[in-house]
Structure 1
Amino acid sequence: MTKKNLLDLYSEYLISSFGQTTATGLSALLNGEVSHDSVQRFLAGERHTAADLWRVVKPHVRAIESQDGVLIVDDSIAEKPYTDENDIICWHYDHSQQRNVKGINFVTCLYHNNGISLPVGFELIAKTEQYTHRKSGMKKRRSPVTKNEHCRSMLQQAVCNQITFQYVLNDVWFASAENMNFVKTTLKKDFIMPLKSNRKVALSLSSKKNGQYQKVETLTIEPMQPVTVYLESVPYALLLIKRVFTNEDGSIGIVYLVTSDTALSGNGIAAIYQKRWNVEPYHKSLKQNASLEKSPTQTVTTQSNHFFASLCGYIKLELLKRSTQINHFALKSKLYLKALQSAYVALLQLNPVRLVA
């Protein structure tokens, strides 16, 4: 059986599974037609890369791309608390939980257009360097390549792959001046990024030249009304809007967005940036519907190839969503119901003893 066929089988197994996913489990599912050893050799073989992902997803991106498309860069952590630590399964700070968690930290470049979100690039954060923390004296790990460097590399590759898009969207952790300049100056694209409330801006070019900056949170600006601002180390004007919203708990939240496209309106900036939230269901579905966190693999290679197969499983679910108009979780629920029905029929065929009260 070819490597491609095994990738198809394994990724479909990840979609179909509701528990731990193993080489033995896939072999049993296929009644031994594919041996446990074949699956294990596939997982332990050559590591799949972002270039392999592009070969898989390219025809599907070409089918949906247009100038309205956006590239979304974000990272997430697939928690693996009980797996032995190595270069990719180690401790990472999770900003959403505000604590360190053990698992695989991955960065994705996600293409979104016409309601479809497809991963076009990825990197697993490999903490290959060990060092002694100066204050605590504890042994720690770090990556020789930063997530911001991975971000720029993936965006560059997307342009090299001639993906049609207009804006780069990301969260505040990727909103550095270096990333902004890379998108605008090097890639010749535009961006919409949030700023931390303590980020300093100048309200005029003369103020910038004189070093007269003030924190964004101190500005007196009306919600959704664009204001021209200047950032330190960013040599061109940006539009800034203040967006006020109500959280689920009733509290009021404020986000400050800047864009390099000075022709946009306040509502236009907010509407385009809203597309960034499509990365959240991507992360959730990858973990829950494509079995990302349900593999007992133990080595960097097998864990990396399992991750790649999960990405392929997500892509298949997204394409099914497009053809059926049913979201990933509803599709998974339909599979679960089918599995229950099959299990019930199998139980009846075993002629279980009927209990009479």
Structure 2
Amino acid sequence: MNAMTRRLVIGTAAVSMALSMAACGKAGGDKKDSASAGDTKSIGLLLPENASSTRYESFDRPFIEAKVKALCADCKVQYSNAEGSAAKQKQQFDTLIAQGVKVIILDAFDAKSTQSWVKEAADKGVKVVAYDRLATGPVSAYVSFDNEKVGELQGQALVEALGAKAADANIVMINGDEADPNAAKFKSGAHKALDGKVKKVVYEQSGEWKPTVAGQKIGAAITQFGKDGFQAVYSANDGMAGAIITQLKSAGIAVPVGGQDAGLDAVQRIVAGDQSYTIYKAYKPLAESAAELAVNLLQGKDVKAVASSTIDSDTDKGIPAKLLDPKVVTKANIADTVIADGLYKATDICTSDFAAACTAAGIK
């Protein structure tokens, strides 16, 4: 072999080796960047809306993110909010699966629509923690409150707000979205407490968890029954209660109105005497339990260390569950509930518009 031929062979071999190494490097890079391998430390978090309640952005999300970080320093949370759209939430869910996320915390906007999503996720090895609302489909765990108990506490608080007038009182009920299984449990629990204790529920409609809709529905009730045709209003949450109270005030009607979620504006309305009560579902233990379940699933640990009971959904039986206890908040126990738990400081509640009312209520 002459020198020129030898140089040609060596050069060809070098080019071939370089191309081979580049190809290996590219394949390795694809594997490293693939969703299935790249997101094994990611937890998806999908929350339902941010219009009718401030809780999701103010409490649920930051509490979940902080607890995940505390339990798994190199884990990350990939967050999206459905902004009141089941279709948008489905897209967000599909995106997380495509990105290779292995665990999703899902607070379903429309829990009845999730069966096929959750089944598809399970078939791909993706675990779903149903958060606050019990999504349909083979979820791996569920964390929420005893939602029938929530409704029962709402009904009892409304009866107590009416006092001696309860037995002769006609009630208007503005329930939550019928697509939300929790709304049915709130309604059932409320009826358990109200039926037989008040004269009659004269008007009952869904407010769809939308303040504007709730305002329209209470307007229709006022038109139908007049200013003196009902003596109290049950509202399934605080966002709707705020709109209801605005409409009642415009019509010159002052009757007990209750809600749920212990939003700051609702607590301020309670201090001012505009709202009778709310239901406090402590967000921190709820969120931290969800984070713990998600991290356990990500790390292959048994969820029953957290979810000590079980619950049945419309599609599945024996789902590991953790159910927390709700509390009624009235003007008399604000200091012992939402302030004592650190949800709000007195200064958060007692802004200049509410300073005098706070002083009168002994909140400081």
TM bucket by the smaller chain? under 0.3
Could you state the TM-score of these two structures normalised by the residue count of structure 1? 0.28
**Whose helix fraction is larger, Structure 1's or Structure 2's?**
2
TM-score norm. by structure 2 comes to 0.28
More strand per residue: 1
